[in-house]
Copies of this chain bind each other. A is one copy, B any other.
């Protein structure tokens, strides 16, 4: 185990914790006090660290994501629905009827998203109410533009999903959600820096 710790850079105590919580599978026992770990363990540890460190998940949330990846694969569409029901939603949903979100989804023509009604519909609703309360002056057209931009992103992603193997697809969808979200948000902020210099001047 100390070798695994050295190779992965994860402290022994943390590895033991992940083993106990079932995030990492046991090594092959070679004697009463020694177990053997292989490249799969190193890969798994990297993945756990990425989910927690970059994805910002808690240990139990990371376990739910890993369970989803390890579980028996369903159809890709069912999989996306079930992943989004198990993953922590972007925003914790509030109690109110999500009518702001449903209205926007109807205008976008996203009937499937309305029908499945994952926790993200309620989360979107809460986020929209916050934008409204802050009086940001976002118009209906701005919100539709956001929807179309995300449709373009999701369209590319779904088309790129490996069709050959559902196991690969699960991995792609679930990890793609958690790990790609920070990429998109960082890019949006950097694009603001870029566009504000380009359109309004004042750079350099």
Contacts and interface: CB of A to CB of B under 8 A. Distances in A.
Interface of A: 43, 46-47, 50, 53-56, 75-78, 80-81, 84, 89-92, 101, 105, 110-113, 115-116, 118, 120-121, 123-124, 126-128, 130-131, 133-139, 142-143, 145-147, 149-160, 162-163, 171-173, 175-177, 179-204
Contact of A149 (B50, B124, B153): B153
A134 B175 contact: yes
A131 B180 contact: yes
B136 A172 contact: yes
A190 B136 contact: no
Contacts of A151: 191, 194-195
Contacts of A50: 130, 133-134
Contact of A195 (B43, B128, B154, B196): B154
A75 B197 CA distance: 11
13 contacts: A54-B91, A54-B126, A76-B200, A77-B197, A84-B193, A110-B193, A113-B193, A137-B160, A146-B187, A149-B152, A157-B192, A173-B192, A181-B188
Contacts of A111: 194
Nearest to A173: B192
A76 B112 CA distance: 40
Which of A50, A110, A127: most chain B CB closer than 10 A? A127
Which of A43, A54, A113, A120 neighbours the largest number of chain B CB atoms within 10 Å of its CB?
A54
